[in-house]
Copies of this chain bind each other. A is one copy, B any other.
Amino acid sequence: MAPETTIPGYDYGSEEIARSPVSSDELELLKQTVLFGPEDADALRLAGEVLSDQVEDVLDVWYGFVASHPHLVRYFADAEGQPIDEYLDRVRARFGQWIHDLCGRDWDQAWLDYQEEIALRHTAAKKNSTDSAAGAPAEIPLRYMVAFIYPITATVREFLARRGHSEAEVEAMHQAWFKAVTLSVVLWARPYAEGRW
């Protein structure tokens, strides 16, 4: 899955981004905790293929959800409460690439490092600077990071079912996706808790 270098702020594999303090051993224990095994890795790869040409449709659903909830869209709005279109667009492009990366990348050190970078981009450390979004809230509260596990998981199932796979295949892809999203949010929660993570 080659990086799409035209995505603003998409720095996967760059020397400029954060290094993850999470070790590969710690990642392995987290995979065990969400019951992520080799069959899930295969199912997630397949999910990535199934979703690859539907990413914009998935993003339409997610952005529609955020846009229709003032308590969510405010994190992408300026000090007057006006959504910042350029900020939303830049984040959207990376959010789409995240789908490709989560399903298609190996979960190696570069992947761990980029999860740390994504984590920091939700916090005061890096949230607005990446997209020059001055005036937007400095941080997305942890509560919404964790709560998003539900909508990001549930909304994807219909897209997984649209390419003619059996019910068992769709279910396997969806469970792998659920595990992978949960694991991602675990990694993105790290800066909020530091030594208590």
Contacts and interface: CB of A to CB of B under 8 A. Distances in A.
A197 B142 contact: yes
What DSSP secondary structure best describes chain A's contact surface?
helix
Contact of A193 (B142, B148, B151, B178): B142
B151 A35 contact: yes
Interface stretch (A6-14, A41-49, A111-119, A179-187): A179-187
Contact of A149 (B30, B139, B149): B149
Contact of A182 (B71, B72, B149): B149
Interface of A: 26, 29-30, 32-35, 69, 71-72, 123, 139, 141-144, 146-151, 153-154, 175, 178-179, 182-183, 185-186, 189-190, 192-193, 196-197
